[in-house]
Structure 1
């Protein structure tokens, strides 16, 4: 897509010219592109699901901008060529990524730490950790705290865990639009 800056001939133009090109405005810039093609054939189930997801993202983007606090956060993150709406839609479409669960400091004692590395394209809002015995019974679950210096989430054990054999750690991360990602580690 071509971009025109301060061009007196194209400034303010929007819409299509014949069946060839389309002009769009974003801020003080004029964008020129080829006319979109008409869809041919029936959409697949995956395409329909993606289209529905994008519609949900668009609804989220519009409603996020109605909330002044969210709007400010998305405005602050909007960089060159991006709008707060674009940032909000992208945030909705991308769930957090749990990169690593570090269990080296967890031995089953109260006060032991489980460190989790989580990223998101915008903001991770929470991380929870659940510990299960081999038989599926819950040892404990709770919220991890963000260590800003390390940019890691730290869970501190509050319950004694006598046997770690076959235990499972389940980490759940969430972001601002409510996307949730889960990852399991076995001991």
Structure 2
């Protein structure tokens, strides 16, 4: 294999040249290769699922950049080299994350208790819903949480006395702008 160092002609070059060559950048090196050929294998179910998700992400991002107000929000979140379209596309593909070690050990079933969950998203968490169910699965209460001043925590204040809370479950559902849902259930 031939190597060329400090070549001013190919330095930083990327893309297709004619029908023959492709230039790529990998780890600061310029790689020249034959043009890749389309696969003749039929796509797998997983591949089709990913293609469908990407298609929906493109539609979502395209709609975002057509609405000037929403586009401005995504532009504000864009980092160097990113567009509003890029940020919206990524936002569609990734849902909110709820802290892994979520615990409601302080919950005693009384009205007015504050249940707190740390939730982040690559763009913005749109809303968070808390539900409390008893050991039999019956709904005790449900409602929207409010975002704390730190912007990380979401706080739900209980509104119903629940004397038989032991063995029950607190369900936290977080939603982002595109409507992705993340759900965590915590035994109490």
Alignment TM class, shorter chain as reference:
0.7 to 0.9
Q: Distance in 1 between matches of 2:37 and 2:135?
A: 55
Equivalent runs, 1:159-178 vs 2, <5 Å: 159-178=160-179
Indicate if the aligned counterparts of 1:130 and 1:138 stay in contact, CA closer than 8 A: yes
> CA-atom RMSD, angstroms?
2.5
* 1:48 partnered with 2:48: yes
1:70: which partner in 2? 70
For 2:158 and 2:37, locate their aligned partners in 1 and report how far apart those are by CA, in whole Å.
Answer: 57
Q: What is the TM-score of this pair, normalised by structure 2? A: 0.82
* In 2: Cα distance, 1:36 partner to 1:117 partner: 45
1:27 alignment counterpart = none
Moved over 3 A (4+): 32-37
Cα separation, 1, equivalents of 2:180 and 2:160:
29
Map 1:65-144; keep pairs closer than 5 Å. 65-99=65-99, 100-144=101-145
Unaligned runs of 5+ in 1: 1-6, 24-31
- CA deviation map 1:95-150 (0-9, x unaligned): 11111433133211111111101111111011000000111111100011100226
Q: Once the 2 structures are TM-superposed, how far is the Cα of residue 164 of structure 1 from its aligned partner?
A: 1.6
The CA distance in 1 between the partners of 2:155 and 2:103, in whole Å, is 10
